[in-house]
């Protein structure tokens, strides 16, 4: 990349790209798909670095992360070019933070902050009793239900791994853990499988796994790190869809607004079945079940776009605002309204720390998408910026 392209990236990320330069940029990007991808890679790296520095965290960690992300893209056709400009990315990121980061005194005061979601969940036991999993005396209550509160992690449950005699048929006891809008929850099943519930999601599971299959039911979005047991496959059911594994890491997303039921595989292998169709995924691939047509398709994906929420960030790559605000609405418990439908198609590339206040998150998006977010309580209106 030459200096002119990096200047475009800087102006684009700071919201200072004027109409004449924007037109030149569009012409250059339209010349080749490769140009467009290189530009978005540069924007993404710079935005991530700027965000880390502004948050006060260690900049060296961010540089290390950028290098790791470049290495992770080694299989892409752009590998040679991206590697060639990696040092330029870092040098430009340093200057970008210095020249383009607004000084604190220039930031307009915010009357009310919209805070991020956090650990919130409810346990529903077999007799219908509901237990708030954020209460202080949780251990006193939860012991009777076959679970323990981890001492080093407040309010996080681990179900007791009790030996079960498989020769004696035992009726399983089912629990449900539900995370509301603006909530998330991490816990461990009786077999050692770790579970991350995203906002507006729930998992129904037995307190102990009996028989020759470990089966759970999912609503919403759940990430699993499944404990390997070759004698007892782990099966996730979402309506009529099943995901079968022995031991692996994967994410299932079944929100109503999704294009379908998505299974994204990070490690190991999974078999996704729906009706008479099935696919076996490799790491880095995603299966999409269309329940209306009865089909299953699979595609290679950038894993972080679908699993980064587990690590405390939301990662976007050239994603439309219409899709981004759906995720933000669930996490921050707000409602977004577009003042004009064309604003839905504006795109954003960047990495957002999910525990930042919504005000700070929207400020970052504003700088790269030429839109304005107006917050009024729980309602956020999206309008355009006139230049």
Provide DSSP, 223-287. EEEPPP-TTS-EEEEETTEEEEESS-EEEEEE-TTSSSEEEEEEES-EEEEETTEEEEEPTTEEE
pLDDT of the residue at 74: 44
pLDDT of the residue at 216: 98
The residue written with tokens 């991350």 in the block is 196
pTM, rounded to two decimals:
0.74
Burial tier of 187 (Cβ tally within 10 Å: 0-12, 13-18, 19+):
buried
When pLDDT is cut at 50, 70 and 90, the band that residue 151 belongs to is confident
User: For 218-307, which CATH class?
Assistant: mainly beta
pLDDT of the residue at 81: 47
Q: 98 vs 48, which has greater pLDDT?
A: 48
What is the rounded distance in angstroms from the CA atom of residue 222 to the CA atom of residue 65? Answer: 25
What is the rounded distance in angstroms from the CA atom of residue 348 to the CA atom of residue 350? Answer: 7
Q: Is the pLDDT of residue 279 over 50?
A: yes
When pLDDT is cut at 50, 70 and 90, the band that residue 294 belongs to is confident
pLDDT of the residue at 367: 85
pLDDT of the residue at 384: 87
Same fold, 218-307 and 312-387: no
Q: Is the pLDDT of residue 182 over 70?
A: yes
DSSP classification of residue 135 = S
Q: What is the 3-state secondary structure (H, E, C) of 85-113?
A: CHHHHHHHHHHHHHHHCCCHHHCCCCCCC
Q: For the segment 332-376, what is each residue's pLDDT rounded down to a tens digit? A: 999 999 999 999 999 999 999 999 999 999 999 998 888 999 999
When pLDDT is cut at 50, 70 and 90, the band that residue 263 belongs to is very high
Domain ranges of the chain: 1-107, 111-211, 218-307, 312-387
Comparing C-alpha atoms, which of 349, 273, 279 is closest to residue 316?
349
The residue written with tokens 């392209």 in the block is 5
What is the rounded distance in angstroms from the CA atom of residue 355 to the CA atom of residue 376? Answer: 20
User: For 312-387, which CATH class?
Assistant: alpha beta
């Amino acid at each position: 990349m030459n200096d002119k392209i990096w200047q475009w990236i800087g102006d684009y990320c700071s919201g200072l790209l004027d109409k004449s330069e924007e037109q030149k940029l569009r012409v250059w990007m339209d010349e080749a798909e490769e140009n467009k991808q290189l530009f978005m890679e540069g924007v993404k790296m710079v935005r991530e670095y700027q965000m880390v520095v502004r948050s006060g965290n260690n900049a060296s960690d961010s540089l290390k992360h950028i290098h790791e992300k470049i290495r992770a893209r080694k299989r892409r056709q752009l590998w040679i070019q991206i590697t060639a400009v990696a040092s330029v990315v870092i040098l430009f990121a340093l200057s970008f933070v210095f020249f383009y980061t607004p000084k604190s005194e220039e930031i307009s005061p915010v009357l009310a902050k919209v805070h991020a979601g956090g650990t919130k969940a409810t346990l529903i036991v077999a007799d219908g009793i509901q237990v708030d999993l954020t209460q202080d005396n949780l251990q006193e209550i939860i012991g009777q239900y076959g679970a323990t509160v981890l001492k080093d992690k407040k309010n996080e449950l681990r179900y007791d791994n009790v030996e079960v005699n498989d020769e004696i048929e035992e009726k399983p006891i089912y629990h449900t853990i539900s995370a509301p809008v603006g909530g998330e929850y991490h816990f461990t099943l009786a077999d050692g499988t770790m579970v991350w519930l995203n906002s507006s999601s729930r998992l129904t599971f037995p307190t102990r796994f009996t028989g020759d299959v470990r089966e759970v039911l999912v609503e919403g979005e759940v990430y699993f790190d499944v404990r390997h047991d070759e004698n007892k496959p782990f099966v996730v059911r979402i309506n009529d869809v099943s995901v079968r594994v022995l031991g692996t890491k994967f994410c299932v997303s079944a929100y109503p607004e999704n294009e379908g039921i998505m299974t994204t595989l990070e490690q190991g292998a999974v078999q996704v079945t729906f009706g008479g169709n099935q696919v076996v995924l490799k790491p880095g691939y995603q299966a999409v079940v269309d329940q209306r047509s009865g089909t299953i398709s699979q595609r290679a994906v950038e894993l972080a776009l679908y699993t980064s929420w587990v690590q405390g960030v939301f990662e976007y790559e050239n994603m439309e605002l219409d899709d981004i605000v759906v995720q933000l609405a669930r996490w921050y418990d707000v409602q977004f309204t577009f003042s004009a439908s064309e604003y839905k198609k504006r795109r954003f590339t960047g990495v957002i720390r999910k525990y930042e206040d919504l005000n700070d998150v929207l400020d970052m998006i504003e700088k790269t998408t030429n839109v304005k977010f107006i917050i009024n309580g729980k309602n956020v209106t999206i309008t355009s910026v006139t230049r």
